[in-house]
Amino acid sequence: MELPKLNLHIHSKFSDGRNSISQIVLTALKKGLDYICITDHFTNSWKDDIIPNLNSLNKIEMYLEEIDHFQKYLLEEERQMALFKGIEIDLSSTEKFILNSISPAKFDIILFEYLESIEGISFMKKIINYWKRNIKNSKAFPLIGLAHFDPSFFAINGMNILIDFLTENKIFFEFNSSYPQFYSQKYRSFFDQLKERNILVSIGCDSHHISTLKDIEEVYDRIKFYELESNLLNLIQILDKKRI
Ligand SMILES: [Zn+2]
C-alpha cells in the first residue's frame, strides 16, 4: 500500500526559513506532497536573540492569516494537498510567555522541541492541562508532537513515564529526516513501545529551504522497518478531520 506523502515540519521566513509561505506551498504542490504543515519557531529563551521567530501576538496573527490565505487558495483551486497551521515551541521558553501568546485552538499542530528530561514532561503537562481546561470543544484541540525528539535522554531513566505521557495525551513522535540518528536501530525498544501502545507517529523534514521539502524517502523505509504504518495512518485520520 502506498502511504500518503507528508512533511509536517517546515519553516518559512516568519522564522529562520529561507522561503515565503507562498513559495513553500507552490513547491510542495509541484513535488506532489499530500499533507504539509508550516511550523515556525516560537521562543523567548536566549535563542530569541539569535533566531527570528513568532515572538509577538502581532506576528503570530500575520502568520496565521497568511497560512489561512493559502488554505483558501488550495480549496478554490480544488487541490488535494492539505495545508496545516503549526508552530514549534522551544521548551526553554517561559510558561507565562507560552500561555499568554499561544491560543492553541488556532493551530492544527503544535510541536515542542527539546524534550530532554522528566522535568520537561512536567512542564509540557502543565501547559497541555491548562489548554485542555480552556478548550471546551475537543475537536478544536491541536495535535501535539515532539519535534526531532532524541530517545537517548530517556533510554536509561524515565522511558515508562515518557511512554505513558505520550499515550495519555495522544502526543506524536516525529520521524525527522534532518535527524536520522534519532530513529537509529539502537532505540529499537522505544519504537517497539510506540507500536505496542499505538502512539501516533508523524513525518517532518525540518525544512528551512524548499529544496528539502520532500526529503522523506528514507523515513518511509524506517517506518516500515519498525512496522509503524498504522500509527502513521492513525495520525493521517486525525489530520483528515482537521482539514478545511
Ligand atoms: Zn524545526
pLDDT at 209: 98
Question: Where is pLDDT greater, at 61 or 139?
Answer: 61
Q: In what order do the strands lie in the sheet with 35-42?
A: 6-10, 35-42, 82-90, 109-113, 143-147, 171-176, 201-204
Q: Cβ neighbours of residue 229 under 8 Å, at least 6 residues apart?
A: 1, 3, 223
Q: How far apart are CA 153 and CA 190, in angstroms?
A: 12
Helix (H) or strand (E) holding 202: strand 201-204
Beta bridge partners of 203: 175
CA separation, residue 31 to residues 5, 26, 48, 175, 215 (Å): 10, 9, 32, 20, 11
pLDDT at 2: 85
Q: What are phi and psi of 111, to 5 degrees?
A: -95, 140
Q: How buried is residue 211: exposed, middle or buried, by Cβ count under 10 Å (0-12/13-18/19+)?
A: exposed
Q: Cβ neighbours of residue 64 under 8 Å, at least 6 residues apart?
A: 85, 106
pLDDT tens, position by position, 186-226: 999 999 999 999 999 999 999 999 999 999 999 999 999 99
What's the mean pLDDT in 37-58?
95
**Residue 71: pLDDT band by 50, 70, 90 thresholds?**
very high
Rounded distance from Cα 165 to ligand 1 centre (Å): 22
Check pLDDT > 90 for residue 175: yes
CA separation, residue 23 to residues 36, 65, 68, 69 (Å): 13, 16, 15, 13
∠ Cα 12 240 198 (to 5°): 100
Rounded distance from Cα 82 to ligand 1 centre (Å): 19
Rounded distance from Cα 11 to ligand 1 centre (Å): 7
pLDDT at 138: 83
Rounded distance from Cα 152 to ligand 1 centre (Å): 19
- Count Cβ neighbours within 10 Å for each residue of 36-68 and write b for 16 or more, e otherwise: bbbbbbbbbeebbeebebbbeeebbeebbebbe
* % residues pLDDT > 90 (the chain): 95
Helix-helix angle 57-76:21-31, to 10 degrees: 40
pLDDT at 39: 98
pLDDT at 156: 87
What pairing do the DSSP bridges indicate for beta strands 201-204 and 6-10?
unpaired
pLDDT at 133: 95
Check pLDDT > 80 for residue 115: yes
pLDDT at 121: 98
Check pLDDT > 90 for residue 1: no
Rounded distance from Cα 8 to ligand 1 centre (Å): 10
- Specify whether the CB–CB gap between 7 and 216 falls below 8 A: yes
pLDDT at 139: 86
- Specify whether the CB–CB gap between 34 and 4 falls below 8 A: yes
Check pLDDT > 80 for residue 244: no
Q: Cβ neighbours of residue 92 under 8 Å, at least 6 residues apart?
A: 43, 45, 46, 47, 114
- Specify whether the CB–CB gap between 181 and 143 falls below 8 A: no
Q: Mean of the per-residue pLDDT values for the chain?
A: 96
Rounded distance from Cα 138 to ligand 1 centre (Å): 26
Rounded distance from Cα 140 to ligand 1 centre (Å): 23
Domains with residue ranges and CATH for the chain: 6-242 (3.20.20.140)
Rounded distance from Cα 94 to ligand 1 centre (Å): 19
Rounded distance from Cα 168 to ligand 1 centre (Å): 24
* % residues pLDDT > 70 (the chain): 99
Check pLDDT > 90 for residue 243: no
| Model confidence, pTM | 0.97
Rounded distance from Cα 150 to ligand 1 centre (Å): 14
pLDDT at 173: 98
